[in-house]
Amino acid sequence: MKRYYRIGEVASRTGCSPESIRHYEKLGLLAPPQRGEQGYRFYDQAALERIGFIRHGRSLGLDLHSIQELLALSDTPDTDCTAADDIASRHLEHLEERIAALQALAGELRQVVHQCRGGKAANCQIIQTLYDHQPTCTERGCGEVTA
């Protein structure tokens, strides 16, 4: 006796909004579920776990494409899973670079913060610093840290 859940209940159980669930389906991360007579989606326990998988991956910062690759591996249990390790390692590397970049930014920012207590904009050290361009890197396409 399988239990079935409508999308709203899945949402509250997984912490994943109905919109996202439909979105994952559209992207092919989730197979189209069964539908009730009125067209309502019905999910079983396996689908719940798959959504949990996606959610956990997202909470680790993985992008949906990587998660899709991991799910594909999981769907073919006989495959060599080195690819999974590659994805995770690559992401970890990526995270570490991101962290280093953000720390550099924070350091640079700490040097200017609280430099202009109560002054006028004309003398503001923060604004001055921004005009003095020795940006960390002037190369095209460099330094746009998503933060």
Partner DNA sequence: CCTAAACCCTGTAATCGTTACAGGGTCAAG
Partner DNA sequence: CTTGACCCTGTAACGATTACAGGGTTTAGG
- What residue ranges bind DNA (CB under 7 A)? 6-9, 11, 17-20, 22-24, 37-41, 58, 63-65, 140-141, 144
Report whether 69 contacts 83 (CB < 8 A): yes
Indicate the residue among 63 and 108 with the shorter CB distance to DNA. 63
Q: Residue 92: how many CA atoms within 13 Å on its side-chain side?
A: 6
Q: Which of 29, 35, 57, 64 binds a copy of itself (CB under 8 A)?
A: 57
> Residue 114 binds which entry of a copy of itself, DNA, none, with Cβ cut-offs from 5 to 8 Å by kind?
a copy of itself
Indicate the residue among 37 and 78 with the shorter CB distance to a copy of itself. 78
Residue 14 tokens read as 């997984």
Nearest-CA neighbor of 53 among 34, 69, 73, 67?
Answer: 67
Closest approach of DNA to the CB of residue 126, in Å: 17
Residue 105: other Cβ atoms inside 10 A: 14
